[in-house]
Amino acid sequence: MRRDPESKIEQVPCSTCSSVDSLTNVTSVIALVATGSSLQSTPAPHQPPTLEPSMREFADADGRSWSATAATEETPDYKGRYHLVMEAEDGQRVELTDIRWNSERSAVRTIDSMSVVELRRRLRSATGRGTAGV
């Protein structure tokens, strides 16, 4: 540790490059060490996480296999653009347009957190209350 003769600021040389050229450099190094981050010459630009389309598999009361996912409806308004879709293994597709999300992130999170009971209830509601075994 050394003291700059023209100021009252103590400077600690960088262990990587031994640089103490500026207070900004020292402050940045101290901040990085305090947070446990590694040294980088330029910060990486923020990249939002990419989401894989979520497809939740479940079986109805008869043991028939279904998958729940979100579909996108192309509209000029972003609100409620995503809605729930359930598809059976035989290709039957049920779109639940009353269950909507504003973002893919919300849709994925909600579908992944739904219980099998909730998925079955939504499917039964969409296919009609008179349908036995769904």
Given a cut of 80, whether residue 19 has pLDDT beyond it is: no
The one-letter code for the residue type at 47 is Q
User: pTM to 2 decimals?
Assistant: 0.56
76-101 burial: b if 16+ Cβ within 10 Å, else e: eeeeebbbbbbbbeeeeebebeebbb
pLDDT at 130: 44
- Enclosing H/E stretch for 121: helix 116-127
pLDDT at 79: 80
pLDDT tens, position by position, 27-82: 444 555 555 555 455 555 544 444 455 689 999 988 999 999 999 988 777 788 89
pLDDT at 106: 92
Cα–Cα distance between 29 and 37 in angstroms, integer?
9
Among residues of the chain, what percentage have pLDDT more than 70?
Answer: 55
1, 10 contact by CB (below 8 A): yes
25, 9 contact by CB (below 8 A): no
pLDDT grade for 117, boundaries at 50, 70 and 90: very high
Domain boundaries defined on the chain: 2-35, 56-127
DSSP H helical ranges for 15-56:
23-35
pLDDT at 35: 58
